[in-house]
């Protein structure tokens, strides 16, 4: 049976939602130009998942999903927000399938031996999405996403040789390394906040210097 971009991304999405536990180390690299290897900045991130719990850490912030509850901790600006009883289960996936298929309707599938490249182009004339094209690298055996490349559809600022601001096209590459069947230590919600009988939220002592933002 012939593969399709939509079919492969559905299988990839199924891996991230159905697999009981995993840890992903992510490396984000910004490149100047739509081709070439002129990297301008790079940073790290991690995702941990155990059943209905997941924690995403990136650039000084944590997003922790407790099934139907979501906690955001911004360690740089010392902010904590909490979304309670959203009515739906939150699960991590690098493939936001509905959004991509809605806006990136022009697709191409490239066979690279042990992996596929799913190329998706933005076909909407007016959109708030900053990317004109997206590439997903899908492992043929596990259906994990090993790389994402996001191509900006407009010029973005870069720092020139003399430190001046220069506008140019660019792309963001995200490399993902997976560890499967790992034991994740869950961080209890009670480590951050406490709720009284009237439903009022207060921060725990360790986060008294943070500001709580009600959702």
pLDDT digits (tens, 9 = 90+) for 169-182: 999 999 999 998 78
Q: The pTM is what?
A: 0.86
Cα-based angle 158, 132, 47 (whole degrees, multiple of 5): 75
- At 48, is the pLDDT very low, low, confident or very high (cuts 50, 70, 90)? very high
pLDDT tens-digit readout, 138-193 = 999 999 999 999 999 999 999 888 888 999 999 999 999 999 878 899 999 999 99
């Amino acid at each position: 049976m012939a593969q399709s971009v939509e079919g492969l991304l559905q299988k990839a999405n199924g891996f991230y939602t159905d697999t009981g536990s995993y840890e992903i180390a992510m490396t984000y690299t910004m490149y100047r130009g739509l081709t070439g290897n002129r990297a301008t900045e790079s940073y790290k991130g991690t995702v941990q998942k155990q059943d209905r719990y997941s924690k995403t850490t990136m650039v000084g912030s944590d997003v922790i999903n407790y099934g139907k509850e979501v906690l955001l901790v911004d360690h740089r600006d010392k902010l904590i927000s909490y979304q309670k009883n959203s009515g739906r289960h939150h699960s991590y996936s690098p493939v936001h399938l509905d959004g991509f298929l809605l806006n990136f309707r022009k697709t191409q599938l490239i066979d690279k031996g042990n992996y596929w490249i799913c190329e998706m182009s933005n076909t909407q004339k007016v959109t708030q999405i900053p990317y004109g094209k997206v590439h997903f690298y899908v492992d043929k055996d596990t259906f994990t996403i090993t790389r994402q490349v996001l191509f900006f559809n407009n010029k973005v600022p870069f720092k020139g040789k003399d430190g001046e601001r220069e506008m140019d096209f660019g792309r963001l590459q995200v490399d993902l390394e997976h560890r499967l069947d790992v034991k994740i230590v869950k961080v209890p919600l009670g480590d951050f906040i406490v709720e009284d009988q009237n439903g009022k939220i207060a921060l725990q002592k360790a986060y008294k210097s943070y500001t709580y933002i009600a959702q």
